[in-house]
Amino acid sequence: MFKKGLILALVLAFVATLLPACAASSNEIAIGTIMPISGPVSAYGTQARDASQMAVDEINAKGGVLGKKLVLYVEDDENSPEKTVNAFNKLVTEKKIVALVGGLTSPCTLSIVGEAQKRKIVLVTPSSTNDTVTDAGDYIFRSCYNDSFQGRVMAKFAGENLSAKTAAIIFDNNNDYSKGLKDSFTAAFTAAGGTVVATESYATGDKDFAAQLTKIAAASPDVLFVPDYYNTVSLIAKQARSAGIEVPMLGADGWDEIANNAGDEVLDCYYSNHYSPDADDAEVKAFVAAFKAKYNVEPNALAALAYDATYMIADALKAAGSTDPEKFKAAMAATDKKFVTGQISFAAGTKHDPVKSAVILKLIAGDAADKPKVTYDATVNP
């Protein structure tokens, strides 16, 4: 009996030591974020994580949510959908989160939206722009616009602002983000009377684009659309210039951070984004100043979107007056407020894709040699 009692006591003591790490306490509300803190797009993930944490710190400094402290639990998925699933399960079962900011890229987010809907976890992705992300159900939201809108924006900009009559496209055939943008750009550009004279593909991880760019150069397009992330775009841009392609290259929000990862080869190129840190806007100025003060770097667009997503969650919890999933979800759907990346609202009876504007940014010569900088060029409304 003594041995059994001792063993039971030891087991209970061991379990007790695990409890504080498993979930937020009764005076805390747990939310999670899943970001690629390491891996090929870590420049996005680290800033998005930092922005969410900054938002949580600000919210708690003002009294928290529903009289409780907001706690952010962070998981690194390395931009791997499989790891996103594992991270999501951990946050839900161990940390008992009521909401999630994430994932970052569309493939990662698509790997968990079904489970988030099933488990009634409000999910707000700051940057997964694939059109199908919000198809999973009414617990799924985003603070960004979708790929169809970005593709239409850049097609409209090419035709109306750059007077382009012809375009070529080079895209990643293994990446839904890249393919979706290619499709929406093509549809909008041709519908407006333009002609896509070349469409070339490559596989994720490719480093040599000479064959595709040689064909594009022979087609002599007015613009070249490159819908991919900054690390791949920087490689393509260098090789495009070497192939004699001197026309403007166009992209979408995946280009964010391109100025820190490319040189003169991207000068006079344009991309759509969710905000400009140079905007003459009170919310933007306050956010940029606070982020710089806290992290000593200028926030990119994904940081701004993650910051907005975190505030959307906090505001909805306050409006709901409860963490009850149904009330919380309904309050999220009723969001209609000016945030850093613009006015965000959701049209009644539709998927939870925000109605908001896009900005067009241009890469120009910077103060340092071979170091471009980004400047605001235009705003395109929905």
- Distance CA(89)–CA(112), nearest Å, equals 9
pLDDT confidence of residue 13: 44
The DSSP bridge partners found for residue 59 are none
Q: Do 148-273+359-380 and 10-145+280-351 have the same topology in CATH?
A: yes
H/E stretch holding 220 reads: none
Q: Is pLDDT above 50 for 5?
A: no
Instruction: Reply yes or no on whether the pLDDT at 15 is more than 60.
Output: no
* Residue linked to tokens 């239409």: 152
CB 119 within 8 A of CB 92: yes
pTM of the full predicted structure? Answer: 0.81
Q: For 263-294, what is the HEC assignment? A: CHHHCCCEEEECCCCCCCCHHHHHHHHHHHHH
368 conformational bin, left if phi > 0, alpha if psi -120 to 50, beta if neither:
beta
- In the chain, domain spans: 10-145+280-351, 148-273+359-380
Q: Are 46 and 79 in contact (CB under 8 A)?
A: no
What pLDDT, in 10s, does the model give residues 50-86?
999 999 999 999 999 999 999 999 999 999 999 999 9
Question: Is 338 exposed, middle or buried (CB count within 10 Å of its CB: 0-12, 13-18, 19+)?
Answer: exposed
Is a pLDDT exceeding 70 seen at residue 12? no
pLDDT score of 258 more than 80? yes
**pLDDT score at 349:** 74
Cα dihedral 263, 264, 266, 270, rounded to 10, equals: 110
Distance CA 80, CA 103 (A): 10
**Is the model's pLDDT at 192 over the cut of 70?**
yes
Homologous superfamily, domain 10-145+280-351: Response regulator (3.40.50.2300)
Question: What's residue 24's pLDDT?
Answer: 54
Residue 41 near residue 108, CB atoms below 8 Å: no
Cα 170 to Cα 69, 216, 299, distances in angstroms: 47, 8, 28
pLDDT of residue 19: 41
Of residues 257 and 319, which shows the higher confidence score?
Answer: 319
- The average pLDDT across 336-353 equals 90
Q: Which residues contact 304 (CB under 8 A, 6 or more apart)?
A: 51, 274, 275, 284, 287, 340, 341
Q: Is the pLDDT of residue 1 over 90?
A: no
DSSP string, 231-273: HHHHHHHHHHHHTT--SPEEE-GGGTTGGGT--GGGTT-EEEE
Q: Kind and range of the H or E element at 30?
A: strand 28-35
C-alpha 155: how far from chain center? 21
Mean pLDDT within 109-124: 98
Please tell me whether residue 374 adopts helix, strand or coil conformation. strand
Percent of the chain clearing pLDDT 90 (strictly above): 82
CA-angle at 274, arms to 58 and 252, nearest 5°: 140
Is the pLDDT at 320 greater than 50? The verdict is: yes
The fold of the 148-273+359-380 domain, in CATH, is: Rossmann fold (3.40.50)
Please count the other Cβ atoms lying within 10 Å of the Cβ belonging to residue 221: 22
pLDDT at residue 336, rounded to an integer:
95
Residue 178: strand, helix, or coil: helix
**Which secondary structure element, helix H or strand E, spans residue 98, and what is its range?**
none
| pLDDT for 97 beyond 70 | yes
Mean pLDDT value across the chain: 91
**Bridge-partner residues for 223, per DSSP?**
167
Quick one: what percent of the chain has pLDDT higher than 70? 93
Average pLDDT over residues 322-339: 96
> How confident is the model at residue 347, as a pLDDT?
85
pLDDT in tens, 217-252: 999 999 999 999 999 999 999 999 999 999 999 999
What's phi and psi for 190, nearest 5 deg? -70, -35
Q: In what order do the strands lie in the sheet with 249-251?
A: 195-202, 166-172, 223-225, 249-251, 270-273, 358-364, 373-380
Is the pLDDT reported for residue 11 higher than 80? no
Which pLDDT score is estimated for 356? Answer: 85
Q: Which residue has the higher pLDDT, 254 or 166?
A: 166
- Compute the distance between CA of residue 41 and CA of residue 380 in angstroms, rounded to an integer: 27
In this predicted structure, the answer to whether residue 8 has a pLDDT above a threshold of 70 is: no
Q: Which two tokens stand for residue 266?
A: 């991207």
- Binning pLDDT at 50, 70 and 90, where does residue 2 land? very low
